[in-house]
Chains A and B, each alone.
Chain A
């Protein structure tokens, strides 16, 4: 069975959402996204990193090195105020989109 594809742009939203609870390293972000969606979203772990870098460029995230739970050096990402604003506007946009799609699906 094919796993559902990610809608374009939603990866950013998922990452923002995941980080809204607090800073995480890349591996943890990948795990959280997979766990939260009950492994339903099949994304390559590697594709997370270009997205993280693009979000750093946009200024939504900040990154610094820290110590992981297994006592190793890991790079932790956290939301900037800019990122929080982005998350709010993206989730609102996403809700609107989903509602619209659902309405169409129901009436069709």
Chain B
């Protein structure tokens, strides 16, 4: 590889200790002196000998220059010179530079932010060793979705079988943590002892389970996640060895995982990890730690080097079929379990985050459009500059610069702009990503997504900046180096009448900007209307006046009777608080992060699928659901009393058709008791905000029991903070052994259930405004430029009797033409875009005249503002001055 060798030699030159210059000087001196000495020896006088030696040698400076050049990277030094030149040129016109860099920074930053979010939602692998060799195990089931709940007995068989390089089991659930105060909510991951070694995760503090635990000798050890350690323990290194209680059982903190590690579930960052018990052992305080053969959890495995998924799958399935044949777990025999499936798991479990992929993809399209508009703007400004710089370019051509050289110089300028814009864009992206995180809905399990710019995001930003630089730089560079540049030295461009060179291109660019911003405005309008249409109107209550508190008395520590007593007592105490109108519990409540459903039928009828919830007396009033017929639950609906339910109108219709539902009997699949309907409430979007109200059945929470109920407190007072702290005080006074968490208003819950729609609507509205502003700046720029070029023409017209109004019309007409052309194109594209987006729209047609009209009006308004200054400037042209000018 001669080229490679040359490159290495050159690099060695860069790193050499003795500078080439010194070597050269020594050589030259030696040469000249030896030659002179030789000449002197033939009888020449010393002075003449020296002179002749120098003559024969030739110009020393050129020789030194050429020798040095042999070693250097021409293109690199030339590029640096181009960039230096470009930087100086930009510093001379700060207004232009600032506008260009800012619009590019916003455009590139927005794109980079959406990329980071999409990357997190779809592509980025787990931050563990060799993520691409990881797989997950699932089992097919007859007539049902595949399950990833694998019983421990088979997980152990699989691990021993040697089908995979290794395997680990994972399961997560909430626990009560007691450290130095009342019980706190936290999510623990229950993992096999080889979890950390399997993933190749090294702790930053302590150990990721002590060697004894990793070898299978169980001990009550906990490894904290980095963020939990920072948040709960203030990053104190002395936590290692300290005791915490999980569901009352003492554990020792042995380590902290590194900040890059978020576990194997995308969108979550579980607070700590504890090892599951060995085969056959159980712990009464924490059911999930069970080592019983029939205890289910998720299985992640690692392929052997060179092993394909298909090979692993057939080997593992053979093991599974053998296990099914021989297992003593009777439950597994008759549940229709089919075959074992092996799936790639470089991203671990990420189904929840993937729901954000399509709204983010829509946003990616919109931000790309904004970047195009920004590019159009900068290209236009560069074109205007280049026209003004034709003399400079002509001079450079006349002293020998080729066209390629000029194009390279102009591309260097646009790349510099794009790179500075991209660098600022990183800050913009970080800001936009923080904004995006606000839209993450929060429920009983915290959502955590890391959107810090990583190497992938930076690489994307750099590549995008360079591509952008070429995109907006190439056309101006080609356009203004075309034709006979030298001729422009002779003509006086500023006095010419009519269309200047490249004017058509510039006008097209502005019209395109208008068109694209109109598209963005229309799309934003459609999304804003969709969001408004989705807001539920079935709850006759001010949603911000309903306060929610979730409590989780661990079933290992609290009996159903105990929970019943606690919840009744809480309702009694909170109802007595000042400012509280109603207080009631619901197992899930409307529009939260948890849902339930049952199969319901009238005796002898068909089963239908219905939402279900378990609620206490007063619940319907607390969320403003009107009672249509019958009665609400009462404290008398308790265990031992006849089983009763309240249903909504949709369920009554679906099960009893047009008969009166009151007093009718309902059957629930897999439940032997029968239920009597005692009340009917109004329909509501209860769990599914995007669908029409579904049939819903409400059980009595006091009768059927509550597991992780949420207290719904309807207040009459606007001072929420006082009510919140009073309620929390009551919880604390009642019992400090269970956590109370997820404290928020119903309003926030509604907002969270519309998180995707809010994200798209809010961001597209912001992008629409940004695009409109960019287009206005573009329009303003081209009009100012056109007026200044036509100063002489306008002066002439005024001298010949044109009125100010006629001159005004001259400028306004030019603007109108551009805006009209752009708007027509924009409306056409918007119609096409609307059809493409129709599956994201709700209650609004993609051809919505109102949205189209408002968007077009907004575009016209901003165009009018952009026109005002240049138009007024045109009317103030002094004919005498204009004609004498130049």
A54 and B70 within 8 A (CB): yes
- In the complex, how many angstroms separate the beta carbon of B12 from the nearest chain A beta carbon? 10
- Cβ of B67 within 8 Å of any chain A Cβ, yes or no, is yes
- Cβ of B30 within 8 Å of any chain A Cβ, yes or no, is yes
- In the complex, how many angstroms separate the beta carbon of A105 from the nearest chain B beta carbon? 32
Q: Which residues of A contact B60 (CB under 8 A)?
A: 46
Mark B44-84 against chain A: 1 for CB-CB distance below 8 A, else 0.
Answer: 00000000000011111011001111110000000000000
Q: Which residues of B contact A56 (CB under 8 A)?
A: 9, 70
Mark A69-85 against chain B: 1 for CB-CB distance below 8 A, else 0.
Answer: 01011110000001000
Pick from B6, B31, B58: contact of A59, CB below 8 A.
Answer: B6
- Which of the 9-residue segments B19-27, B165-173, B220-228, B244-252 touches chain A? B19-27
Q: Whole-angstrom distance between the alpha carbons of A82 and B67 in the complex?
A: 21
Q: List 27 A-B contacts (CB under 8 A).
A: A25-B30, A26-B30, A27-B31, A27-B35, A44-B56, A45-B56, A45-B57, A45-B58, A46-B28, A46-B62, A47-B66, A49-B63, A50-B69, A52-B67, A53-B20, A56-B70, A57-B9, A57-B70, A57-B71, A58-B5, A58-B9, A59-B2, A70-B34, A70-B37, A72-B34, A75-B30, A82-B5
Q: What 11 additional pairs, Cβ within 8 angstroms, besides A56-B9, A57-B6?
A: A44-B56, A44-B57, A45-B56, A45-B58, A47-B66, A53-B66, A53-B70, A58-B2, A58-B6, A59-B5, A68-B34
- Cβ of A24 within 8 Å of any chain B Cβ, yes or no, is no
- Cβ of A30 within 8 Å of any chain B Cβ, yes or no, is yes
A47 and B58 within 8 A (CB): yes
Q: Which residues of B contact A46 (CB under 8 A)?
A: 28, 57-60, 62-63
Q: Whole-angstrom distance between the alpha carbons of A43 and B6 in the complex?
A: 26
Pick from A25, A50, A75: contact of B63, CB below 8 A.
Answer: A50
Main secondary structure on B side of the interface with A: helix
B6 and A26 within 8 A (CB): no
Q: Which residues of A contact B37 (CB under 8 A)?
A: 70
Mark B1-21 against chain A: 1 for CB-CB distance below 8 A, else 0.
Answer: 010011001100100000010
Enumerate the 10 nearest inter-chain pairs by beta-carbon distance, A residue then B residue, closest first: A44-B58, A50-B66, A46-B58, A46-B63, A53-B70, A54-B70, A53-B67, A45-B57, A46-B57, A27-B31
By CB atoms of chain B within 10 A, which of A45, A54, A70, A73 has the most? A45
Q: Which residues of A contact B70 (CB under 8 A)?
A: 50, 53-54, 56-57
Chain B residues 595 to 624 lying within 8 A of chain A, measured CB to CB, are none
Mark A6-32 against chain B: 1 for CB-CB distance below 8 A, else 0.
Answer: 000000000000000000011100100
Mark B654-686 against chain A: 1 for CB-CB distance below 8 A, else 0.
Answer: 000000000000000000000000000000000
Q: Which residues of A contact B71 (CB under 8 A)?
A: 53, 57
- In the complex, how many angstroms separate the beta carbon of B65 from the nearest chain A beta carbon? 8
Q: Which residues of A contact B13 (CB under 8 A)?
A: 57
- In the complex, how many angstroms separate the beta carbon of A19 from the nearest chain B beta carbon? 16
Q: Whole-angstrom distance between the alpha carbons of A49 and B67 in the complex?
A: 6
Q: Whole-angstrom distance between the alpha carbons of A50 and B58 in the complex?
A: 12
Main secondary structure on A side of the interface with B: helix
Q: Known: A46-B60, A50-B69, A57-B70. Is A27-B34 also a contact (CB below 8 A)?
A: yes
Q: Which residues of A contact B58 (CB under 8 A)?
A: 44-47
Q: Whole-angstrom distance between the alpha carbons of A57 and B9 in the complex?
A: 6
Residues of A in contact (CB 8 Å), total 24
- In the complex, how many angstroms separate the beta carbon of B792 from the nearest chain A beta carbon? 55
- In the complex, how many angstroms separate the beta carbon of B64 from the nearest chain A beta carbon? 8
A47 and B63 within 8 A (CB): yes
- In the complex, how many angstroms separate the beta carbon of A64 from the nearest chain B beta carbon? 11
Which residues of A does B touch, CB under 8 Å?
Answer: 25-27, 30, 44-47, 49-50, 52-54, 56-59, 68, 70, 72-75, 82
- In the complex, how many angstroms separate the beta carbon of A78 from the nearest chain B beta carbon? 15
B27 and A26 within 8 A (CB): yes
Q: Which residues of B contact A27 (CB under 8 A)?
A: 30-31, 34-35
A45 and B31 within 8 A (CB): yes
Q: Which residues of B contact A74 (CB under 8 A)?
A: 27, 30
- In the complex, how many angstroms separate the beta carbon of A63 from the nearest chain B beta carbon? 9
Q: Whole-angstrom distance between the alpha carbons of A58 and B2 in the complex?
A: 7
Q: Which residues of A contact B66 (CB under 8 A)?
A: 47, 49-50, 53
Q: Whole-angstrom distance between the alpha carbons of A54 and B59 in the complex?
A: 18
Q: Which residues of B contact A30 (CB under 8 A)?
A: 31
Q: Which residues of A contact B31 (CB under 8 A)?
A: 26-27, 30, 45
Q: Which residues of B contact A82 (CB under 8 A)?
A: 5
Q: Which residues of A contact B63 (CB under 8 A)?
A: 46-47, 49-50
- In the complex, how many angstroms separate the beta carbon of B103 from the nearest chain A beta carbon? 44
Q: Whole-angstrom distance between the alpha carbons of A58 and B13 in the complex?
A: 12
Q: Which residues of B contact A44 (CB under 8 A)?
A: 56-58
Q: Which residues of A contact B5 (CB under 8 A)?
A: 58-59, 82
By CB atoms of chain B within 10 A, which of A46, A47, A57, A72 has the most? A46
Q: Whole-angstrom distance between the alpha carbons of A49 and B65 in the complex?
A: 10
- In the complex, how many angstroms separate the beta carbon of B389 from the nearest chain A beta carbon? 36
Q: Which residues of B contact A57 (CB under 8 A)?
A: 6, 9-10, 13, 70-71
Q: Whole-angstrom distance between the alpha carbons of A45 and B258 in the complex?
A: 66
A49 and B30 within 8 A (CB): no
Chain B residues 867 to 881 lying within 8 A of chain A, measured CB to CB, are none
Q: Whole-angstrom distance between the alpha carbons of A12 and B13 in the complex?
A: 21
Chain B residues 471 to 504 lying within 8 A of chain A, measured CB to CB, are none
Q: Whole-angstrom distance between the alpha carbons of A68 and B26 in the complex?
A: 13
A49 and B2 within 8 A (CB): no
- In the complex, how many angstroms separate the beta carbon of B21 from the nearest chain A beta carbon? 12
Chain B residues 62 to 117 lying within 8 A of chain A, measured CB to CB, are 62-63, 66-71
Q: Whole-angstrom distance between the alpha carbons of A2 and B67 in the complex?
A: 27
B9 and A59 within 8 A (CB): yes
Q: Which residues of A contact B9 (CB under 8 A)?
A: 56-59
- In the complex, how many angstroms separate the beta carbon of A99 from the nearest chain B beta carbon? 27
B26 and A75 within 8 A (CB): yes
Q: Which residues of A contact B57 (CB under 8 A)?
A: 44-46
Q: Which residues of B contact A72 (CB under 8 A)?
A: 30, 33-34
Q: Whole-angstrom distance between the alpha carbons of A82 and B5 in the complex?
A: 11
Q: Whole-angstrom distance between the alpha carbons of A30 and B776 in the complex?
A: 69
- In the complex, how many angstroms separate the beta carbon of A81 from the nearest chain B beta carbon? 12
Q: Which residues of A contact B27 (CB under 8 A)?
A: 26, 49, 74-75
- In the complex, how many angstroms separate the beta carbon of A45 from the nearest chain B beta carbon? 5
Q: Which residues of B contact A25 (CB under 8 A)?
A: 30
Mark B771-814 against chain A: 1 for CB-CB distance below 8 A, else 0.
Answer: 00000000000000000000000000000000000000000000
B6 and A50 within 8 A (CB): no
A68 and B67 within 8 A (CB): no
Specify the chain B residue showing the minimal Cβ separation from A59: B5
A45 and B35 within 8 A (CB): yes
Q: Whole-angstrom distance between the alpha carbons of A40 and B60 in the complex?
A: 23
Q: Known: A44-B57, A47-B58. Is A75-B34 also a contact (CB below 8 A)?
A: no
Q: Whole-angstrom distance between the alpha carbons of A57 and B68 in the complex?
A: 11
Q: Which residues of A contact B33 (CB under 8 A)?
A: 72
- In the complex, how many angstroms separate the beta carbon of A25 from the nearest chain B beta carbon? 7
